[in-house]
Amino acid sequence: MHDPSGWVRGVVSYAKRPGDGAGLILWLHAEEEDQAVAEALVGHALGQFGPRTVYAFAFASAPSLGLEGLPVRNRPATRRALEAAGFAGRDRWRYLHRPLDGPLPTDAYPVADVCECADPPGWQMHLRESDGTLVGEATLGRPVDGIGVLWWISTDPAHRDRGLGRHLLRQCFTRLAAEGAREVITYVDDDAPPGDPEHDRTAANRLYDSMGFTELDRLWSFTRCP
Ligand SMILES: CC(C)(COP(=O)(O)OP(=O)(O)OC[C@H]1O[C@@H](n2cnc3c(N)ncnc32)[C@H](O)[C@@H]1OP(=O)(O)O)[C@@H](O)C(=O)NCCC(=O)NCCS
């Protein structure tokens, strides 16, 4: 969308999914979160889709730069435009940030193995017992413009709440800083209820909060039924 002089005021990227025919708003940006521009872009995409289920900001795609959802605090006009058009929002992720510019925490526990991986581009960290048993792992994204990503961290259930998660996270910071990161971001899918056997993120949230991360935003996905 552009104004009469040709200045781009906003962009929407959308597609129809061949498998189920659903409409997808992959990404949308209105200049300075202008409400009228956001509404016009949402209206344009809906007009192209016709009557069908439409998902917006439902998964990461190339133009979303890895964000699996709309950061609603920073994008209030886009959220309002979607809700005004009949989309229902769902709060799905914490979006966290930590600077890596100060002195990094260190400790004396054995260092995790590091191996490079191609997908996602970055590194896998493996924390092992002295007999080689794997007790923790993490996936790191290669820094872009000084920003590294912690894609995943986990410890073996039988070894949790003994400090291994904190130890492995320190090593992740050290690795990212050595690779040029000045900041690290991560996402927490904390939309499951406490006690959920697979997705309870109480421990992860405690770990991140106590290791210097702050919440930048919440990531929401949206659905509109015909
Ligand atoms: C998150 C995780 C990596 C933490 O690993 P860990 O080895 O237990 O970590 P630590 O022992 O260093 O503990 C870190 C913090 O979590 C807290 N914690 C650990 N288990 C907990 C539990 N079951 N409930 C509440 N808090 C818990 C610890 O008390 C500690 O906080 P504190 O220092 O303020 O007391 C681990 O719980 C895990 O693998 N969870 C499943 C995967 C996951 O959620 N990954 C993160 C995805 S975003």
pTM of the model: 0.90
Q: Which residues contact 94 (CB under 8 A, 6 or more apart)?
A: 187, 188, 190, 205, 215, 218, 219
- What is d(CA 75, CA 86) in angstroms, rounded to the nearest whole number? 17
What is the structure's pLDDT at 66?
74
Dig out the tokens for 71 from the structure. Answer: 């950061």
Cis peptide before 121 (omega within 30 of 0): no
Question: Which of 95, 160, 215 gets mutated to test ligand 1 (max ligand atoms within 8 A of its CB)?
Answer: 160
The per-residue pLDDT for range 124-172, each reduced to its tens digit, is 999 998 888 999 999 999 999 999 999 999 999 999 999 999 999 999 9
Mean pLDDT on 173-185 = 95
Q: Are 27 and 64 in contact (CB under 8 A)?
A: yes
Instruction: Name the closest-CA residue to atom 14, ligand 1.
Output: 207
Q: Are 40 and 10 in contact (CB under 8 A)?
A: yes
Residues with beta carbon inside 6 Å of ligand 1?
153-155, 160-166, 188, 201-204, 206-207, 210
State the distance from the centre of ligand 1 to the C-alpha of 155, rounded, in angstroms. Answer: 8
Q: What is the dihedral of CA 98, 104, 110, 113, to 10 degrees?
A: 50
Read off the pLDDT band of 110 (50, 70, 90).
low
- How, if at all, do strands 134-144 and 54-56 pair? unpaired
DSSP bridge pairs for 217: 95
The answer on pLDDT for 78 being more than 70 is: yes
Looking at the chain, the domain(s) classified CATH 3.40.630.30 span 98-218
Count CB-CB contacts under 10 A for residue 183: 17
What is the structure's pLDDT at 191?
84
- What is d(CA 74, CA 206) in angstroms, rounded to the nearest whole number? 24
Instruction: Name the closest-CA residue to atom 37, ligand 1.
Output: 203
Secondary structure tally for the chain: helices H, strands E: 4, 11
CATH number of the 98-218 domain: 3.40.630.30
State the distance from the centre of ligand 1 to the C-alpha of 118, rounded, in angstroms. Answer: 28
Quick one: which atom of ligand 1 is closest to the CA of 162? 11
The answer on pLDDT for 82 being more than 70 is: yes
Instruction: Name the closest-CA residue to atom 25, ligand 1.
Output: 203
- What is d(CA 218, CA 49) in angstroms, rounded to the nearest whole number? 27
State the distance from the centre of ligand 1 to the C-alpha of 189, rounded, in angstroms. Answer: 14
Q: Which residue has the tokens 């979160």?
A: 33
Q: Which residue has the tokens 């930048």?
A: 216
The answer on pLDDT for 111 being more than 90 is: no
- List Cα–Cα distances, 40 to 14, 33, 69, 82, 203, in angstroms: 14, 12, 20, 11, 42
